[in-house]
Amino acid sequence: MLSKYKNIILFFVAVIYLAVITGFISESRKEIPCSGLNVQIADAETNKFIQNDDVAKLFEKNQFKYLGLYVEEIDVSLAEKLLYKFPSVKQAEAFISLDGKLNVSIQQRTPLIRIINGRGESYYIDREGGIMPWSDEFTAFVLIANGFIFEPYATLRTKSVFIKDSIGTLKRNVLNDLYDLALFIDDNEFWKSQMAQIFVKKNGEIELIPRVGAHTIEFGNIDEMDLKFRKIRSVYKAFNTMGWNVYKKINVKYKNQIVCTKR
């Protein structure tokens, strides 16, 4: 019984101690001036749309002050809001560490495919179907889609390929198809290493241009993608024996058929 009361007393002592220490730290933090900026970009080696120096420049451009201010005076929510001015930011967090520094943590969006439309405009679609502007600072090594694509970046106000009509039905367009096809390719290591470009023909059908070999692939529409890629794979296995430059075109758009055109 005595042991039980002893444990209860120790528990309350610990709670009171933690409350005092927390209050002390909180009061002490009010007297700590912000001494610097620490930026962490999660995927900086893969996607280099944002550099560490860009964050300081963004804050300066928007007259967001933090250096020398007491940490309690710094509006971290405003800092986070400013970070989303970078079009490539997927998620951002700002907080003050115990040493008085403003810490910024950024996760960038992952581009899936680069679109070059019929007007020569260039932009990305990311893995979530979001629209990203083209960057002069960094070019992502992703699939390129061009040809008869006329959806401009500027008018895609939702910044997504998933555009719905007034009653909530998804409106299909060429960007939806390109997104679905690019996602299929990107999720397969073999096809990701093989395919370099998607060309949209005037009739809306798709042509694939691989990295290896001097052939093109008539893909048609995106129906039965898995089956069509299995057809291509079967031809590629034959290429290992006969060579990669025998055919100039592989046509897999017809059901139950593979039509190969020799050079």
pTM: 0.81
Question: Rounded CA gap, 74 and 228, in Å?
Answer: 56
**pLDDT in the model for residue 32:** 87
Q: How confident is the model over 111-167, as pLDDT tens digits?
A: 999 999 998 899 999 999 999 999 888 999 999 999 999 988 765 555 888 877 767
CATH architecture assigned to 111-262: 3-Layer(aba) Sandwich (3.40)
User: What local confidence, expressed as pLDDT, does residue 167 receive?
Assistant: 75
Which tokens belong to 220?
Answer: 């048609």
Name which CATH class applies to 37-108: alpha beta
CA angle centred on 73, ends 67 and 74, rounded to 5°: 55
pLDDT at 105: 96
Any bridge partners for residue 100, and if so which? none
Residues 192-207 have a mean pLDDT of 96
pLDDT confidence bin for 219, thresholds 50/70/90:
very high
The whole-chain average pLDDT of the chain stands at: 86
**What's the average model confidence in pLDDT over 76-84?**
96
Determine the pLDDT at residue 191: 97
pLDDT for res 155: 57
- Of 212 and 170, the structure prediction assigns the larger pLDDT to 212
> What are the structural domain ranges in the chain?
37-108, 111-262
| Predicted pLDDT of residue 13 | 46
- Residue 97 class from Cβ within 10 Å (0-12 exposed, 13-18 middle, 19+ buried)? exposed
For residues 142 and 213, give the distance between their C-alpha atoms in angstroms, rounded to a whole number. Answer: 19
